Structure 1
Amino acid sequence: MPDNPGQRLDAISFRQLRLFESVGRLNSVRRGSEECNLSQPAVTQALAKLEQLIGIDLFERRASGSYLTPPGDILYARVIRMFKQLADALFDLEVPGGQVGADAVVHRLTRSQVRSLVAIIDHGSFAAASIALQITEASLQRAARDLEGNLRKNIFYRSAEGVMVTPAGIACGRRMSLALQEIDWAINEIDVARDIGESRITIGALPFGGSVLLASVLDEFLATQTKVDVRIATEGASEMMQRLREGKVDLVIGLTQETMGDNLVSQTLAETPYEVVGRRGHPLVEKGQVTRDDLIRYDWVVGSQGSSRRKCFDGLFANCPKPRTPVATSALPVIRHLLAGSDRLTLMTAYELQYESMLVPVPIDVRLPCPTIGITTRADWLPTALHKDFINLVKSRVSTRSIMATARSAA
């Protein structure tokens, strides 16, 4: 068995997974061999090889049939999802024959064909992809031709820069890459259950609230997980949502976005109203009820263009003069520094403000928007046990009541 999880994943063929799915569903090697039109010894050998690669028994063999073990159940659920996602991607690519045609193509697909397309998309060229896959460019081109012939649809075209993937091909390849992740997650879950590997989680933290929320729970999460590999990505909302769609992050925490598309869903954790914020001792803090005219007299640090924070700022000063905004940033340490040593103002949510010691809300006579803080995932995502533990921890630490109470006490 290869030691590297990636090598183990690459060594597992779609043929093995199709046979595994058939036997797992029918609880019988004999019936599985008949369905797949193979001999029983061939199916038995393929499943034995798969078990060797995974490193554990996937079936319990009895006189009445072959039944999935707990590790087999983990893999089976992911295999079902992988093949469905592949079929959905091909249906949306509009391969000939509709859904029946898409299912037929999936049955003929090989891991080599899918890996080749994904690598070409990820690395931008056949030459770079062949280096990444450690195969010759001729082998990669052959796999690409086989894939296109299998699809009966052109997904490559020649340009001045060389052979490129069509936009439809790129969209399909991205979804195929997500499908392949299912088996990666299955191997990881099984390894963790056997206590021979680390659980993995990649968290996207949106600026401001996401980073604050993550920081508030990370120590506790790490204390409860003895073997975990946590990776954190921090980018703006639009970039982060794209990373989520592509499977480069598992989940995103922070202010929920107004428009995400059908392929993303958010779990709202709490409402957290925006506040006008300045340093402790700011002239406006002790003034009482503050008007827009008061706010206009001070410089502001605003959110990046397109952010919900910037939208709130624009709404606050709609149909009236706007204050000077010499700095636009989502970097909380920069904002904190700029406000702490001056009379500048900014917008923060009540949730973010509860973790600030030097910044306080400015009482204003305008009701500001009340966004929500939450967790965003892909709509069809199946979380691992580790993901569920993290999400449950975050939910237990965030509530509307605590945020609103903090906002009122700070005011």
Structure 2
Amino acid sequence: MSKQDSAARAAAISFRQLRLFAAIGDLKSVRRASEECSLSQPAVTQALAKLEEQIGSVLVDRRASGSYLNELGDLFHARIRRFFEQAEQAIMEAGAADTKVAARAIMNRFTRSQIRTVVGAIEHGSFDRASESVGISSASLQRAARDLESNLGVPLFYRTAAGVLVSPLGSQFGRHMKLALQEIEWGIEELEAAQGGATRQMVIGAMPFGGSVLLASVLDDFLRLHPRADIRIMNESAAEMAKCLRAGDVDFVIGLLPELESGEVVREPLARTPYSVVARRGHPLTRLGKVSIEDLRAYDWVTGTDGSSRRACFERIFADGPAPQTSLATCALPVIRHLLKRSDRLTLMTSYELEHEDSLRAVLYDPITPVPSLGITMRASWLPTRMHQDFIDLIRAHVSAPRPHLRDVG
């Protein structure tokens, strides 16, 4: 099942259906769920039957003693509980409610079209572009936006000469709701996988250099385990990758861990991999017994892009004096390899990266600190699917295999 298929199926399910299903799972009774939601028992039963038809799975076993979630129902219920918890947290962080009870009451008034409005606006930049994408008129989206603001009691949009735009608070709220909605999609995909169906698309962020090398080392093993997996690998700068991760556009990121802490992401260091100054085979510096800082200043360098850990390391090395010539800044390994092989330029590489470069050598310079870590960066609230977990376990096993150039974390 493609990402588009799961998203379309998830979008067809109303929040009301999900609230009723969550109540059945919480209360372990259709009758009690109907009382909790102030609906008749036949209405709840009908809504449940429609939900099961939409997702193609039986979620509840009907017995003489009552109706109970089966194994698939428990699987889906866990995702739907996470959806509501994250949505209610987004409402509280927007300043619309002080308690979970109040946030739940607001969430119960939301409709799909209202949430689609703010998510579409932040993804496409304006109501006009969002309306083109979802096939709804801009006027209809703006009506839904007004209804959303009315239900929330907090302004999310503002009008300019260029049209209606999303405020910073609206962007934050929309991003959090987008992440919450992904739980529904993942719930559907987990049901498919549990029944031997198609496997969902997995989007992995690969940090420049180490991330791509590490991914390439485990992809074959993973595809043998999940032969129908649909993997998309995203390569971006460190700053752009952080944005993609927080927005839910990538599931997790592999490579050098960011130096800056963030409450929205968690970092799992797997191994420390020290930086070395690197040059081509036969470079004049590779013939020296010991290289000084002045030796390094005498050559042109290829540095990392702004915001990357490689660029920060370069700046620390030369912090106490003039920096060498840096005509080129890139995170593209093929470009760096080409430039170094055909010149006397220098760059920085981690020991893990250098292991895979036969034409490059480390020069004998002092140990460079701090030593970066290779690992996995994930959203703090993320719950991986079985497929995600299998991939992460393979990464852990690969990095933990004995290698003299990697140092254990701990």
TM-score (norm. length: structure 1): 0.94
CA distance in 1, matches of 2:26, 2:287: 70
Secondary structure at 2:405's aligned position in 1? helix
Paired residue for 1:146? Answer: 147
Deviates further, 206-215 or 189-198 = 189-198
CA contact (8 A) 2:91 2:97 kept: no
The answer on 1:248 being equivalent to 2:276 is: no
CA distance in 1, matches of 2:358, 2:378: 32
Matched to 1:243, the amino acid is C
Alpha-carbon shift at residue 356 of structure 1 (Å): 0.8
CA distance in 1, matches of 2:5, 2:215: 30
Secondary structure at 2:378's aligned position in 1? strand
Change in 2 beyond 3 A, CA 1:145/1:365: closer
Matched to 2:319, the amino acid is A
CA contact (8 A) 1:86 1:179 kept: yes
CA distance in 1, matches of 2:282, 2:262: 43
Paired residue for 1:282? Answer: 283
CA contact (8 A) 2:352 2:406 kept: no
Matched to 1:338, the amino acid is L
The answer on 1:209 being equivalent to 2:210 is: yes
- Structure 2: gaps of 5 or more residues: none
Secondary structure at 2:288's aligned position in 1? coil
Paired residue for 2:48? Answer: 47
Alpha-carbon shift at residue 245 of structure 1 (Å): 0.3
Alignment size in residue pairs: 404
CA contact (8 A) 2:271 2:406 kept: no
Change in 2 beyond 3 A, CA 1:384/1:36: same
Paired residue for 1:10? Answer: 11
CA contact (8 A) 1:211 1:254 kept: yes
CA contact (8 A) 2:276 2:349 kept: yes
Matched to 2:49, the amino acid is A
Secondary structure at 1:360's aligned position in 2? strand
CA contact (8 A) 2:272 2:406 kept: no
The answer on 1:170 being equivalent to 2:164 is: no
Task: Give aligned-pair identity as a percent.
Answer: 55
Matched to 2:149, the amino acid is E
Deviates further, 340-349 or 172-181 = 340-349
CA distance in 2, matches of 1:399, 1:382: 23
Secondary structure at 1:130's aligned position in 2? helix
CA distance in 2, matches of 1:307, 1:106: 39
Secondary structure at 1:276's aligned position in 2? strand
CA distance in 1, matches of 2:348, 2:157: 48
- 1:261-300 pair list within 5 angstroms: 261-300=262-301
- 1:107-122 pair list within 5 angstroms: 107-122=108-123
CA distance in 2, matches of 1:322, 1:163: 47
- 1:124-154 CA-partner distances (Å, limit 9, x unpaired): 2222222222223333222222211111222
Matched to 2:329, the amino acid is A
CA distance in 1, matches of 2:7, 2:305: 38
- 1:335-346 pair list within 5 angstroms: 335-346=336-347
CA contact (8 A) 1:24 1:68 kept: yes
CA distance in 1, matches of 2:351, 2:382: 30
- 1:259-408 pair list within 5 angstroms: 259-399=260-400, 401-404=402-405
CA contact (8 A) 1:85 1:175 kept: yes
Matched to 1:167, the amino acid is P
Alpha-carbon shift at residue 98 of structure 1 (Å): 4.5
Q: RMSD between aligned alpha carbons?
A: 1.7
Change in 2 beyond 3 A, CA 1:94/1:5: same
Paired residue for 1:131? Answer: 132
CA contact (8 A) 2:238 2:307 kept: no
Secondary structure at 2:148's aligned position in 1? helix
CA contact (8 A) 1:269 1:400 kept: no
Paired residue for 1:409? Answer: none
TM-score (norm. length: structure 2): 0.94
Paired residue for 2:185? Answer: 184
Change in 2 beyond 3 A, CA 1:110/1:294: same
